[in-house]
Structure 1
Amino acid sequence: MELVELETQISRLAELGLPLAPDRNIDDLLYSLPRDLFERRPYELLLSILGAEVEREPWGRWFCDRAWNFDTECVHGPGAYVRIARELCRITGRPDAFTDVEDHVDLATGGAWIAYTVNGRRRRWTAEVHDDWADGLVVTYLLDDLEQDGHRFWTRDNGQIVNLYFLDTCAAEGINSLLPNGSPLAPVLS
């Protein structure tokens, strides 16, 4: 495979809708991984890290505002589904798309739910409890309530960690043209 300079990868993904967040830079990326790894695995490794938090201070900064590495083994108690909903709203660019968000998670009794208001409609979904795994069906309900204006959630298969991106079809197809066979973006919902 041909090496691709990291700056070129960053520029091309930005053109396709996945720019580095404001005040993030190559030094932040290189703090996590060496340049040669990014350049030997063009686009693939960069796409994987875009949904992560910068691994140095100040903490709580995402590499890209349109990506999230969703660790599906994250339901440890109350607030877990609220956090999932907030992160999904964040990557759509509409942090307040869901209002009045609340959840209940009781791992001991196996009871869980999330409730929120979206577009003036109140929603409440009961979640199945499987240890600390997020209920995939409930997550798809959240995704469905957020997709709009030709933008949808796209993912790459990465096991327990689900790399999510919020893009239109044209951008996703452009990104797929940059990736090696076997690891394309796919729509989460069909």
Structure 2
Amino acid sequence: MRLEDQLAALADLGLPLAAGRTVDELLYSWPREAYERKPFDQLLFTLGCAVEAEPWDRWFCDRAWHFDTECVRGRGSYVTLARRLSRITGRPDALTDLRDHVDLGTEEAWLAYTADGRRITWPIEVRDDWADLMVVGYLMDELEHGRSRFHVRHNGQAMTLFYLDTDAAERLNTLTGEETVAPFPG
């Protein structure tokens, strides 16, 4: 299936290329054959990534994020994670006053934020540089609204997260012929 046809099908499901993103930028990361050999496989992965050329921090899709769970480096790691989750919900300011403390040496960590006027602080379990998926789940619960939910496509230690309503997720699974995405366990 042509890359352009895959993009059109995903756009119909609520996963369009972000404004200003192009097929040429997709082809900068991977050759056309990688996208077309097994339709949707490489494209769904790449939609969660940032463009691999300057200017940086331009995402291929506003409703997807490729989340490498081995991402905790220290202070700011959970703030970044919370901001990226907020971005794919289309509510980048849903969590305010974000602060975290991460000390890998003493294994002390926490995340604090304000949501809907409530100040919330979560203790974080420190396991080397692995994200605490329980806290990730709490953030997702906080951010989900309306009929849309976080759906996950596993990729080893990483996962691509999509923010879709249940109908779109089911249609995506039908389109790909397999259970491509599932609700994030939480």
Partner Cα separation in structure 1 for residue 56 and residue 132 of structure 2:
28
The answer for the alignment partner of 2:180 in structure 1 is: 184
Partner Cα separation in structure 2 for residue 64 and residue 22 of structure 1:
8
The answer for the alignment partner of 1:151 in structure 2 is: 148
The answer for the alignment partner of 1:134 in structure 2 is: 131
Encode CA deviations 1:75-103: one digit per residue, 9 max, x unaligned.
Answer: 11000000000000000000000011100
The answer for the alignment partner of 1:108 in structure 2 is: 105
DSSP-derived class of the 1:163 partner: strand
Partner Cα separation in structure 2 for residue 17 and residue 55 of structure 1:
23
Partner Cα separation in structure 2 for residue 119 and residue 187 of structure 1:
24
| Number of residue pairs the alignment of both structures matches | 186
Q: How does 1:47-66 map to 2 (within 5 A)?
A: 47-66=44-63
Is 1:70 matched with 2:67?
A: yes
Runs of 5+ in structure 2 lacking a partner? none
Q: So what's the TM-score if we normalise by structure 1? A: 0.95
- How far off is 1:16 after superposition? 0.4
- How far off is 1:39 after superposition? 0.9
> CA contact under 8 A between 1:43 and 1:179: conserved in structure 2?
yes
> CA contact under 8 A between 1:79 and 1:102: conserved in structure 2?
yes
Letter in 2 for 1:87: R
Encode CA deviations 1:7-62: one digit per residue, 9 max, x unaligned.
Answer: 00001101100000011010000001111111111011100110001111111111
Letter in 2 for 1:114: L
DSSP-derived class of the 1:62 partner: coil
**Once superposed, what is the RMSD of the aligned Cα atoms?**
1.0
DSSP-derived class of the 2:160 partner: strand
Partner Cα separation in structure 1 for residue 139 and residue 156 of structure 2:
20
Letter in 2 for 1:65: D
Partner Cα separation in structure 2 for residue 8 and residue 59 of structure 1:
27
Partner Cα separation in structure 2 for residue 110 and residue 189 of structure 1:
25
The answer for the alignment partner of 1:19 in structure 2 is: 16
DSSP-derived class of the 2:162 partner: strand
Partner Cα separation in structure 1 for residue 33 and residue 156 of structure 2:
24
Q: So what's the TM-score if we normalise by structure 2? A: 0.97
> CA contact under 8 A between 1:144 and 1:189: conserved in structure 2?
no
